[in-house]
């Protein structure tokens, strides 16, 4: 009886202990749960609310709207359009293989396109955006949007992209945009600040030069999504600022004509206002369609452009270093007059060649021009005359005059990073660069624009403009709002010692174009409204051997790459000049037959368009 009672007590105590322990455990668990709930709901409330919002609410930066380029008359020459894109962030996709194959079917991607997408995916980090397509049509874009419930991590995006309506007409001037790379992001603050996947930025030309003004700022969109990541509603939209529109000084109609004139040719045409320095046209040929680069050029198209022997990727207007040939003769004559070496009565007898120190220097006319004065020498482009006056002048004084008129320096300063300075040699340059003394023979050939001397087409245009305006310094510009502010004391800086000498040169250039025996006489316009004055040039690209000189081959009989370059400079109308131009046709043969006839067509259009330009100026003045 006693044992039975004792056992019952032990059992009861054991049960009580177990219940106590169990109750204690439950109590502590409950306390733990309550504490955790308190911690999560009160202490960590903001954190988890934010995380919840991140799952429910998405923020999306959109590509900024790029500023446009307009020509002088307000025509859009580089604009924008809406582009439909498809993005994927790989780390947000549960089953990438499934999703990418679904997209392949929806977009009807070819095997080549599909492999390209997979290759891009392998080249990026999992958290980076994979751009499956950056230019979908509306049908495919809508199709993807209708299947988003089955495409977790896929983002259809409406972006802004570039369009060049005039295609190859403005390529070397405006340039083009393409997808920003790492170098672009690191080198330009505005690109880094506004970067979004697929952002297009300027790669060359004015698109690159004015990137900071053009790029604009991002639109920011906040929207709510469901469990499948599909948009339910837009919560907020923060509008970014569009980039600045830039109005150029270019006349599209003149620019198009320069393109037409140089069709199937390599070369450059520049047109400039001789008083304001406004560039009316500036074209390098051959060109290419910049739209090809906006969404990434294909390998086949790239190879066609890259391997073209006429080098369409080179901006010949700014990068082309050419011997100026006889287009330098107005400066040689002006320098000789300014330095008192000759006067208008100074004559030279041209027999077709000049012997000096066992060297023979030929005139282009085999039998010579006979006795010629400065005016006749310029009119007929007599080499012998310019051999003699350059010999008397010396290269250092010639160099000084040439530099005054814009040769040997960048015309646009630091606006284009590709622009070349050219080369106007002198005795000190040769000593520093080559470690040798200057030779008299080098002075002689410099006087006809051969030898070391190198100029760019835009420099020749500026030189001509400053002769045409009476010998005053001007400051060329392409963007209307970017016109250089000039101190009043520098506004009409003369580049001459005696204005009479400028008039002599202009008159000699008139004779070269408008009088019998003038080298560009066949390209003249008799109507005073369009009448212009100019100077032809023919620049050798290789030394002519005695045998070749005896054969006297026609241009078409010479291999293309060995033909001379054809040049022409001019200004008009002659009585009241307003515009200057320079033309160069690579391997075009003779300046009088290839380049000068282009000026005839150009001046007719340029001068007709001048009236419209003045009306536009008057209208803007009244608006101000």
- Per-residue model confidence (pLDDT) at position 85: 83
Residue 503: name the closest of 324, 337, 325, 321 by CA. Answer: 337
Higher pLDDT, 624 or 395: 395
The answer to whether residues 175 and 204 touch, using CB atoms and an 8 Å cutoff, is: yes
d(CA 486, CA 502): 23
Q: Which of 514, 546, 542 is nearest to 528 (CA)?
A: 514
Lowest mean pLDDT among 15-19, 52-56, 367-371: 52-56
Token reading at 247: 């109005």
Residue 291 has a pLDDT of: 93
Distances, alpha carbon 221 to alpha carbons 60, 229, 234, 239, in Å: 5, 15, 8, 8
Give 526-585 pLDDT, tens digit per residue: 999 999 999 999 988 766 665 555 556 666 567 777 789 999 999 999 999 999 999 999
Looking at residue 538, its pLDDT comes to 93
Q: What is the dihedral of CA 9, 10, 14, 15, to 10 degrees?
A: -30
Q: Give the pLDDT confidence of 585-618 residue by residue, as tens digits.
A: 999 988 999 999 999 999 999 999 999 988 887 6
Tens digit of each residue's pLDDT (9 = 90 or more) over 365-414: 989 999 999 999 999 999 999 999 999 999 999 999 999 999 999 999 99
- pLDDT tens per residue, range 70-106: 999 999 999 998 888 888 878 778 888 888 888 888 8
Distance between CA atoms of residues 490 and 472, nearest Å:
10
Report which of 583, 547, 549 is spatially closest to residue 565, judged by C-alpha positions. 583
Average of pLDDT values for 159-170? 92
C-alpha to C-alpha distance for 492 and 275, rounded to whole angstroms: 10
User: How much is the pLDDT for 5?
Assistant: 63
Q: What contacts 203, CB < 8 A, 6 or more positions away?
A: 175, 176, 177, 178, 293
**How much is the pTM?**
0.85
End-to-end CA distance of the chain: 122
How would you label 483-492 residue by residue, b for 16+ Cβ within 10 Å and e otherwise? eeeeeeeeee
More confident residue, 313 or 225: 313
C-alpha span between 565 and 18 (Å, rounded): 109
């Amino acid at each position: 009886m006693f044992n039975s009672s004792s056992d019952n007590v032990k059992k009861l105590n054991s049960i009580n202990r177990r219940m106590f322990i169990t109750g204690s455990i439950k109590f502590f668990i409950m306390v733990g749960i309550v504490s955790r709930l308190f911690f999560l709901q009160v202490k960590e409330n903001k954190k988890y609310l934010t995380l919840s919002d991140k799952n429910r609410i998405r923020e999306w930066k959109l590509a900024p709207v790029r500023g446009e380029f307009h020509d002088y008359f307000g025509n859009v020459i580089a604009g924008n359009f809406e582009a439909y894109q498809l993005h994927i962030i790989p780390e947000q996709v549960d089953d990438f293989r499934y999703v990418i194959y679904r997209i392949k079917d929806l977009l009807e991607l070819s095997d080549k396109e599909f492999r390209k997408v997979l290759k891009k995916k392998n080249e990026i980090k999992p958290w980076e955006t994979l751009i499956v397509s950056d230019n979908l049509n509306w049908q495919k874009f809508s199709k993807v949007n209708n299947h988003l419930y089955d495409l977790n991590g896929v983002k259809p995006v409406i972006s802004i992209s570039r369009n060049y309506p005039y295609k190859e007409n403005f390529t070397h001037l405006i340039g083009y945009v393409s997808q920003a790379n790492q170098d672009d992001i690191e080198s330009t603050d505005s690109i880094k600040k506004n970067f979004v996947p697929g952002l297009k930025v300027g790669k060359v030309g004015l698109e690159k030069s004015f990137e900071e003004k053009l790029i604009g700022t991002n639109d920011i969109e906040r929207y709510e999504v469901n469990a499948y990541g599909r948009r339910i509603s837009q919560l907020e939209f923060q509008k970014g600022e569009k980039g600045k529109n830039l109005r150029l000084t270019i006349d599209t109609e003149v620019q198009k004509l320069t393109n037409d004139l140089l069709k199937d040719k390599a070369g450059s045409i520049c047109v400039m206002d001789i008083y304001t320095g406004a560039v009316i046209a500036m074209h390098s040929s051959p060109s290419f369609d910049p739209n090809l680069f906006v969404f990434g050029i294909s390998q086949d198209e790239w190879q066609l452009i890259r391997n073209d022997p006429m080098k369409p990727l080179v901006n010949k207007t700014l990068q082309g270093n050419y011997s100026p040939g006889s287009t330098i003769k107005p400066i040689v004559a002006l320098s000789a007059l300014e330095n008192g070496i000759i006067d208008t009565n100074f004559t030279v007898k041209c027999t077709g060649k000049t012997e000096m120190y066992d060297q023979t220097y030929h005139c282009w006319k085999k039998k010579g021009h006979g006795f010629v004065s400065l005016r006749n020498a310029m009119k007929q482009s007599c080499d012998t005359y310019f051999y003699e006056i350059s010999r008397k002048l010396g290269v250092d004084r010639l160099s000084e005059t040439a530099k005054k008129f814009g040769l040997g320096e960048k015309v646009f300063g630091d606006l284009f990073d590709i622009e070349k300075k050219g080369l106007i040699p002198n005795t000190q340059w040769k000593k520093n660069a080559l470690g040798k003394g200057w030779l008299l023979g080098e002075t002689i050939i410099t006087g006809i624009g051969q030898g070391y001397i190198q100029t760019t087409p835009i420099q020749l245009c500026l030189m001509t403009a400053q002769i045409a305006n009476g010998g005053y310094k001007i400051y060329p510009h392409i963007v209307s709002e970017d016109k250089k502010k000039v101190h009043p004391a520098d506004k009409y800086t003369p580049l001459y010692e005696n204005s009479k000498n400028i008039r002599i040169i202009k008159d000699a250039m008139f004779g070269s174009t408008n009088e019998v025996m003038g080298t560009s006489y066949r390209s003249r316009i008799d109507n005073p409204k369009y009448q212009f004055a100019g100077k032809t040039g023919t620049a050798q690209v290789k030394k002519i051997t005695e045998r070749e000189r005896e054969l006297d081959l026609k241009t078409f009989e010479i291999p293309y790459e060995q033909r001379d370059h054809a040049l022409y400079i001019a200004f008009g109308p002659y009585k009241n000049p307003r515009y200057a131009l320079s033309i160069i046709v690579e391997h075009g043969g003779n300046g009088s037959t290839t380049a000068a006839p282009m000026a005839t067509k150009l001046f007719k259009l340029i001068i007709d368009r001048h009236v419209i330009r003045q009306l536009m100026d008057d209208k803007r003045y009244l608006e101000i």
